[in-house]
Structure 1
C-alpha cells in the first residue's frame, strides 16, 4: 500500500504544510474575535454540511459498486463504502491526491478482487472526477458571467493554471485509453532513449511494466466502448457528488447569516477553487485553498471572510479527513480478516 519511508515523508510534508498554513492564516489575527464569530453561527447548517460530506464520499462507493456489478464482479456494497473512505483519506494526506487509488487497490486486492479490474474501475472514476472540473472551468471561462468574473478577478491566474493542468491530465489519460498502441510506442521510445543516454537503468524492466500498464489502458478503452450508458451515468453521479461538496460553502455562509449572494454563485465559486487547486502538489490543496477562499469571498463575506473560511475548510476538508481516517482504521481491521481467520482455522 505505502512503504514506511514514504509514509513518514508524507506525514512530515503534511505536518509542515499544515503548520505553515496555520501560521500564515492566523498570524496577527484576533483569535478571540474569530472564535466569537464562529460561536454565534447557526450550527444546524453545519449538520447538513457534514451530511453532504458523507454523501460526497459515499457517492464514489455507489459508483464503484455500480461499475463492478455492471461487469459482473461480486462485491459488497459495505466494502465499497470502506474503499471510498480509504481513498479519500490517502488522497487528503498525499500531494496531488496520489495515494488514494493505490491504497484502494491494496484493500480491493485483500478482498480478492482482480487488480486489473480494480485499476480499470478506479481509472474511470478518476477521469470522470476530473472531467467534471474541466467542464465547470471551461464553461466559466467561455461564458464569463460578469458576476462570477468579478469575484474571480484576483485569482484568475490560478484558475487558468488549474484548468490547464486538469485539461492536460484528462486529455493525457484519454489519450492513453483510446490510443494505447500509439501511447505505448511513444513511451517505449522515451524509455529506450533515456537508456541510451544513461539517464535510466533497467530499461527492459520498465519497458515490461509499461507494456503491462498499456494492457490495462486497453481494457479501459474496451469498457468505454461497450458500457457507454454506464460511463454516462457515472459522470452524472460524479456531477452530483462534486456539487455536494461545493454546497458546503453555501451552507457555511448561511450559518453566518450571509445571504446576499445566490446559492449558484457561491457553489460555482467554490467549484472554481477546486479547479485551481486540484492538480497542485499539495495535500488537500492545503494553503492555496485557504488563500483563494479569502481572496474570492472577501466581497461576499466582508468581516466574516476568515471565520467563514475556517468553518468551510473545517467542514469540507478536515471533517472528510477525520471521518476517512476513522473508517480507514475500520477497513484495516475488517477487510480480508474473515478469510484469514478461516484459513487459520483450517
Structure 2
C-alpha cells in the first residue's frame, strides 16, 4: 500500500471511531454493558459467516470467469481478489479504488493485464445487473416499508436506483449501440473545452474511447458465452443474499427473535443503495444514519439500536478492511498456463 492509501485507511478508522463515539455519548452505558454481556455470539458468528460466504462466492465468480482463460487458478488466488477489492473500496470515494486494486492483484498472479481488465469488466457488469435485479425486487415487494415511514430516505433510495439504472443503461448502450454511444460521449465532452485546456479534454476523450473499445470487445465475448454469464450471475445473486442477510443475524444476536427476515433484507438493500450516493469512503456517516433511521422500527431500545449499528458496521465494513490488509501481503500462486482468449 502507498502512503496515500495508508493515510486514507487511518483517516477512515479515525472517522469510524469518531462516529461510534458520537452515537455512544447519549447511550446509557450500564444498559449497553448489559446488552454486550448478553450477546448471543452464535448468531453473531453466523453474521460473520455470511460475510465470509459473500467473499467466497465472489471468489467462485472469479474462477468461473477465468475458467476458459487460465489453467489452475487456485481458490487462494481467487479469494484474494474480493478481499483486496474490499480494502480499497473501503478507503476510496465511491469505492473507486476496488477495480484498479483487483487488476493489480490479478496481474500479480501472472494474468495478462488485458485479460484481467476484460474479466473485471465482465464481473462488474454481472455484479451491477444483480444489484439492480435485487433492488427492483425490493421496490416491487418492499418499498412501502420505507416509503410509508421515511419519506426523505425513500427519495434517496429512488435516486440511488436511478444512478444504478443509468450505469446499467450506459453499459448496455456500449454493448448494443457502440457507434452511437461513442458519438454521444464525444458530444458530452464538448462543454469541457469551456473550462479545461484542449489537451486535457483530448486526453480524457482518448481514455474514455479506450475504455469503451475494451468494454465493447469484451461484450462480444459475453454475448457468445451465455452459459458462463448465467452461472456467474446466479453465484453473484447468492453472494448478495448472504451480504444482505448480515443485519438479520446481528439482530438475532441481540435477542430480537421476532424480527422478520424479509423486512430486514429489504431494509438492508435500501441502506446499501443509499450508501452508494455518499462520496465519503464506505458511505461513512450516511451508512450509520440510514441504519438507525430504518432499523429503529425493529429496535425500541436505544442502546440495542446503537450496538446493532456498530456490530453491523464492523461486520460489513471494518472486517473486510482488516482481512483485506492481510490478503495484500499474501503471496499469490502463479498461474500455470494462460490460454488464448476465445
Q: Which of the five TM-score ranges fits, normalised by the shorter chain?
A: 0.7 to 0.9
**Structure 2 matches for 1:308-327, cutoff 5 A?**
308-327=308-327
Change (3 A) 1:157 1:210: closer
Task: State the Cα distance separating 1:62 from its structure 2 match.
Answer: 0.8
Scaled by the length of structure 2, the TM-score of the pair is: 0.86
Query: In the TM superposition, what whole-angstrom CA distance separates every residue of 1:45-101 from its partner, at most 9, and x where no partner exists?
Result: 111211111111121111011011134566333211112211111111211111111
* 3-state SS in 1 of match to 2:110: coil
Q: In the alignment, which of 198, 205, 208 is matched to residue 206 of structure 2?
A: 208
Query: 2:57 touches 2:236 (CA, 8 Å); kept in 1?
Result: yes
**Structure 2 matches for 1:57-136, cutoff 5 A?**
57-71=55-69, 75-136=73-134
Task: State the Cα distance separating 1:251 from its structure 2 match.
Answer: 0.6
* 3-state SS in 1 of match to 2:316: helix
Q: Matched residues in 1 for 2:251 and 2:260: separation?
A: 10
Task: State the Cα distance separating 1:323 from its structure 2 match.
Answer: 1.7
Structure with the greater relative contact order (CA < 8 A, sep ≥ 6): 1 or 2?
2
Q: Matched residues in 1 for 2:27 and 2:44: separation?
A: 24
Change (3 A) 1:198 1:82: closer
Change (3 A) 1:42 1:15: closer
Between stretches 175-184 and 295-304, larger displacement belongs to 175-184
Query: 2:246 touches 2:312 (CA, 8 Å); kept in 1?
Result: yes
**Structure 2 matches for 1:38-53, cutoff 5 A?**
38-53=36-51
Q: Which residue of 2 aligns with 1:169?
A: 167
Q: Matched residues in 2 for 1:72 and 1:326: separation?
A: 25
* 3-state SS in 2 of match to 1:70: coil
**Structure 2 matches for 1:150-299, cutoff 5 A?**
150=148, 153=151, 155-191=153-189, 194-195=192-193, 198-299=196-297
Task: State the Cα distance separating 1:33 from its structure 2 match.
Answer: 2.6
Task: State the Cα distance separating 1:299 from its structure 2 match.
Answer: 1.9
Change (3 A) 1:55 1:177: same
Moved over 6 A (4+): 336-339
Query: 1:133 touches 1:275 (CA, 8 Å); kept in 2?
Result: no
Change (3 A) 1:300 1:232: same
* 3-state SS in 2 of match to 1:299: coil
Task: State the Cα distance separating 1:20 from its structure 2 match.
Answer: 4.7
Unaligned runs of 5+ residues in structure 2 are 337-342
Change (3 A) 1:218 1:73: farther
Q: Matched residues in 1 for 2:83 and 2:299: separation?
A: 32
* 3-state SS in 2 of match to 1:301: coil
Query: 1:35 touches 1:307 (CA, 8 Å); kept in 2?
Result: no
Q: Matched residues in 2 for 1:151 and 1:258: separation?
A: 21
Scaled by the length of structure 1, the TM-score of the pair is: 0.85
Q: How many residues align?
A: 334
RMSD (CA atoms): 2.8
